[in-house]
Chain A
């Protein structure tokens, strides 16, 4: 018989109004292992982990720690039992320092009342050295990178004595380099006896880091398997319940006339610094142009300027022959620009709005959705019902608030709205961030469909794999300029070299 697991979840069931989020889930974690949790968007992974962290109370089921049943009524109880969690959205206080954030609520005290910051800083430093989690304890949290903030979250959990660490989609917000560093940290934690539950949609990461893999589908456990022997294909099949195309299946492009032309564009960022520095590009109807680049090299500002959301300093934006330089967002929409924004919570959706309202975000102005200033709810609802069906949005009716949907389904809503607007030019920024493989396949297929319908598609993504598999042509952006053009047959290494300014240095040297 195998050793008793460190932690065991037995028959966990959790219902939300209208949704069975977890259905008699059995799950166990051995000590010093990385156990990955896989599943489609909305499969119930976060719900299960929130139960384990004491945020939700299960409707049924039992949690056993070292064979003993435990009650987790609150996060406090979970922490006392040595369970720590790093949420996808960090819960740090931006204006406080790293050390202050870590010791928050459990501060070491001097003479009972005074905070002992020196002691706090020392203990943070100790922990950070021990696990290779390098951070500056005195830096303010809002001044450090996302990757470092994540380390602070991990340190916070360790500081509170976590033996079991839950990481909910930790790599979704990281650059590939940061993700590599995170894996180093996880290995070091594991070698020092910590047990880790790891949630991710990226199958290659799961295969790289996990010892065992459990897959959830619609709240039910499909299977728990050892990672060795599994492949991306087999995992995808297990998750979605059917064969998934991990590679995009598309015919050769038949590019037509240029629909989007950007000429010598200069755009400033929020701090008033030049972010786009004389950039030119052109996207033709019927082609997908991939824009590859390391984060924060002017992609955001470029998209904003094209979509009428940011002032243009100089240069021109032309859509299908019409000058759209410095147009308002509404004019850009009217001129036929569709825009899947990179941050769907900040921009793409009004979370408290219903799905019907969100789907009407551009169309509400036009008949039949409104006439003479009055909304036509019948038309708005009919349209919403049609789009939800057409784009296979699950987990909501037209009157469900967008906030209640899982990430993948929220993205489908945005996609549905933008594609249904019948755009000439479609800007897709990080269109598959946080999505499961099934949803990614869906989004990719839709984008290719739009291409084949003669639309010009500008794909901006940090994922090289996505750029390579989807694009007909690839441009690399670096420090606000285009530094190279590549065919889709280019290798990741070639692109990576150009993305870090390598190409330009070479030019300069020549």
Chain B
């Protein structure tokens, strides 16, 4: 092997060890105990396999619940699968598709207007904010903090997006859209920054402060969009904001705007995944954040300001979640009501995605798609009542999501791998 080849190999290896190595779940900042070093040496493999096993076990137990209701789990899962739209990829044929931002059509292997296509659009719309709230958890986690405040930070972005999106009627979309997105992200950053600042200065635990900030955001939102609130729409007695102006809406590239087609939001989310990976693995900031996350005392000894990194990591986390809120508003929701504020749990789904995805870019992206698909596939709109009761279907998602969090917390997949390896070793 030449020197250059070896170097390239090592670079790849480095990327893997940095990004995919075991992130001890639910224990930010604590270096793995000696007994786990064994496992972490297999980081590259168990980093993928353990979450897979975790998911599998969660689905099996979900299936058990379905069976308890007297329905056939296989049929139910099949129906959910079809509802996610992911089956779209498996129907290849001779079709044509419109090239985005133009009127020309060209040959395409998939039917872009089938029911499955519409389902897939919904799944991807849902995946977008989950990726971002997931990253909000993941980034803070890398710095040794548990950010439960993704929901509040998402609302901060939502609120500013609605406010700015419903104002400035005549503004060019080239200015308006970026303005809304940037301010949404900033709002999230400032909001999370409060928790970061409290942690950095007086040592207030971020779990407590972010939970409190969640509640504050919910009630502030409730007031703003509620009856007589300053952002309530022009229709009196309906506690919903106005629609944002057309110039603030993201371009829809697939499907119809009126039918909640897919906006470019998903591409922004994927781009942010790349940004996340870059920050974590390729910048001095990411280096510092990870050092603080793994061992704050060693970081301090290395001349790294622990307090500054706590603040920055929290603010960046908040920016991700805030952007998620802004993307939802500008991408398909266009408005928000008091009820939505109380019903929305995207921040917590992001938490599950980050845990399952082990705080890596690829992991969070994949887990977000899983949860996005699951939520869409089990929504009452999609599921045939004769196969499974729609009102229970949504709960199935919650069950699977809860089991995933529980299992990741207990590291069920990891334990399973470990036991197997010990036996076999």
Contacts and interface: CB of A to CB of B under 8 A. Distances in A.
Interface string B388-409: 0000000000000000000000
B298 A361 contact: yes
A374 B301 CA distance: 22
Given A329-B303, A350-B291, A399-B13, A404 B37 contact: yes
Contacts of B40: 352, 401, 403
Interface string A276-296: 000000000000000000000
Contacts, number: 119
Contacts of A329: 300-303
A353 to B, nearest CB: 7
A356 interface: yes
B340 interface: no
Contact of A361 (B14, B43, B302): B302
B31 A377 contact: no
Interface in B261-297: 281-287, 290-291, 294-295, 297
Contact of B7 (A349, A374, A381): A381
A245 interface: no
Contacts of B21: 352, 401
Given A56-B425, A57-B422, A381-B11, A373 B301 contact: no
B425 A353 contact: no
A354 B283 contact: no
Q: Summarize B's interface: helix, strand, loop or mixed.
A: helix
A274 B221 CA distance: 52
A353 B23 CA distance: 12
Given A59-B425, A399-B17, A401-B21, A350 B284 contact: no
Given A397-B10, A403-B32, A374 B300 contact: no
Nearest to A57: B425
Contacts of A360: 287
Interface string A380-415: 010000000000000001110101100000000000
Contact of A364 (B7, B281, B287): B287
Interface string A336-370: 00010100011111111110110011101100001
Interface string B300-333: 1111110000000000000000000000000000
B294 A352 contact: yes
Interface residues of B, number: 41
Contacts of B294: 350-353
B291 A353 contact: yes
Contact of B10 (A347, A351, A373, A398): A398
A445 interface: no
Interface string A258-287: 000000000000000000000000000000
B8 to A, nearest CB: 10
A364 B10 contact: no
A506 interface: no
Contacts of B422: 56-57
Give chain A's interface residue range (CB within 8 Å of chain B). Answer: 35 or more
Contact of A341 (B42, B285, B301, B305): B301
B37 A346 contact: no
A361 B301 CA distance: 9
A356 B14 contact: yes
Contacts of A381: 7, 10-11, 14
B13 A352 contact: no
Interface in B1-38: 7, 10-11, 13-14, 17-18, 21-22, 31-32, 34-35, 37
A17 B298 contact: no
Contact of A374 (B11, B22, B282, B290): B282
B303 A16 contact: no
Contact of B301 (A347, A354, A356): A347
Contacts of B281: 375
Contacts of A353: 290-291, 294
A364 B298 contact: no
B287 A403 contact: no
A348 B298 contact: yes
Nearest to B13: A399
A102 to B, nearest CB: 22
A404 B34 CA distance: 9
B299 interface: yes
B278 to A, nearest CB: 8
A328 B41 contact: no
B339 to A, nearest CB: 43
Contacts of B32: 351-352, 403
A22 B300 CA distance: 38
A242 interface: no
B381 to A, nearest CB: 44
A353 B300 CA distance: 15
A350 B298 contact: yes
Nearest to B38: A16
B303 A374 contact: no
A373 B303 contact: no
A214 B302 CA distance: 40
B37 A347 contact: no
B399 to A, nearest CB: 33
B14 A352 contact: no
A17 B290 CA distance: 25
Interface string B238-281: 00000000000000000000000000000000000000000001
A347 B297 contact: yes
A309 B14 contact: no
A351 B21 CA distance: 12
Contacts of B14: 354, 356, 377, 381, 398-399
Nearest to B42: A17
B303 A328 contact: yes
Contacts of B299: 350
A342 B313 CA distance: 30
B300 to A, nearest CB: 6
A251 interface: no
A333 interface: yes
Given A17-B41, A351-B295, A403-B40, A373 B300 contact: no
Contacts of A55: 35
A48 to B, nearest CB: 15
A330 B302 CA distance: 7
A359 to B, nearest CB: 11
A374 B291 CA distance: 16
A110 interface: no
B303 A370 contact: no
Given A309-B301, A352-B32, A374 B13 contact: no
Nearest to A417: B302
A381 B6 CA distance: 11
Contacts of B423: 57
B298 A399 contact: no
A361 B292 CA distance: 11
9 contacts: A56-B422, A57-B422, A346-B295, A351-B295, A352-B32, A361-B301, A373-B285, A375-B283, A399-B14
What 5 A-B pairs are tightest by C-beta distance, nearest first? Answer: A330-B303, A361-B302, A399-B13, A329-B303, A403-B37
